[in-house]
Chains A and B, each alone.
Chain A
């Protein structure tokens, strides 16, 4: 089975940098995804990691360490519109592409 842990809530200031951590335990691993979900809306894809290291995409970066079962999402130059839930999801091996999601981290950006 899979177990995915994320902090429940975080607060950060506009313009700052925030790091959202995700740890996972899985019987097999075939990639890790981060999604953003605004209240009342659908999750939208942010990033994908399958090899160790950092993937950068504009203000957002995602890091993966497979040996440690650990990932983080880094958000730079925070904006008010970044207030949302951030979902970590793992794609186990042999699952024909399904994703298993964590409970999500609700980020509030303040002035």
Chain B
């Protein structure tokens, strides 16, 4: 099966600029996650979707971050305006949503904010 697709692979922007990331999950996976992974740390959940509805966005900095999954398949994550501390890898993952279902991750987008 095709894996989770993400683009772009790398992005460099200046602080206060905006940026958007795209994710296409594994076909049939209703649950989609965006994680932020800062160098040397484990992934931290930003937002979780079940189909096109938000399940958990408690750790999403909503003053600058937004995400959508309009048709319950692809998703975009946006940062506006970016800060230096947003430099990280943004990982998209999907799963079947069962208790025993692992998360399958995409290769991520490495964001550098200068």
Contacts and interface: CB of A to CB of B under 8 A. Distances in A.
Interface of A: 4, 30-31, 33, 41-45, 48, 50, 87, 89, 91, 95-104
Nearest to A50: B100
B56 A45 contact: no
A19 B104 CA distance: 24
Contacts of B24: none
A43 to B, nearest CB: 5
Contacts of A103: 40-42
A65 B105 CA distance: 27
Nearest to A103: B42
B55 interface: yes
B63 interface: no
A89 B101 CA distance: 13
A42 B97 contact: no
Which of under 10, 10 to 19, 20 to 34, or 35 or more describes the interface residues of B? 20 to 34
A101 B56 CA distance: 16
Interface of B: 31, 33, 35, 40-45, 48, 50, 55-56, 91, 95, 97-108
8 closest pairs, A vs B, by CB? A101-B42, A42-B105, A45-B102, A103-B42, A96-B55, A101-B43, A97-B97, A42-B107
B82 to A, nearest CB: 21
A43 B105 contact: yes
Contacts of A30: 99
A91 B101 CA distance: 10
A31 B101 CA distance: 10
B43 A43 contact: yes
User: Max chain B CB contacts within 10 Å: which of A31, A44, A98, A100?
Assistant: A98
A96 B42 CA distance: 20
B30 to A, nearest CB: 10
